[in-house]
Amino acid sequence: AQTVTQSQPEMSVQEAETVTLSCTYDTSESDYYLFWYKQPPSRQMILVIRQEAYKQQNATENRFSVNFQKAAKSFSLKISDSQLGDAAMYFCALAEYGNKLVFGAGTILRVKS
């Protein structure tokens, strides 16, 4: 069975600094997808970044990048130049080919001004 573990319930970062959110996962499949979703307080969940398992290159979206270590089954999210609007709950999620998303427990990110 696929599992996703986020070991950091809460993280804090100073505005303009860099923060890394951790995620590990387990799957027996070789073809799968990994996602980071952001859910601001009382607001919509949005996709931040995605990574296809067959791609060795780490995905990057503006200030957001991932460190995908397939052998270690690790998928961390790095947020550079943190902004107040980055404050949210961040969920790491895994989808095997059947597209059923499995979410981690989430990490609350607080951004200090």
Partner 1 sequence: DTEVTQTPKHLVMGMTNKKSLKCEQHMGHRAMYWYKQKAKKPPELMFVYSYEKLSINESVPSRFSPECPNSSLLNLHLHALQPEDSALYLCASSQLPRGPYNEQFFGPGTRLTVL
CA–CA dist 62, 74 (Å, integer): 21
Q: How many residues does the chain have?
A: 113
Question: Which among 110, 103, 106 has a CA at the least distance from the CA of 6?
Answer: 106
Q: Does 75 bind partner 1 (CB under 8 A)?
A: no
Region 11-50 residues binding partner 1, contact defined as CB under 8 A: 33, 35, 37, 43-47, 50
CA–CA dist 13, 44 (Å, integer): 22
CB of 52 to partner 1, least distance (A): 7
CB of 16 to partner 1, least distance (A): 27
Judged by the rule CB under 8 A, the positions of this chain that interact with partner 1 are 33, 35, 37, 43-47, 50, 52, 89, 91, 95, 97-101, 103-106, 108
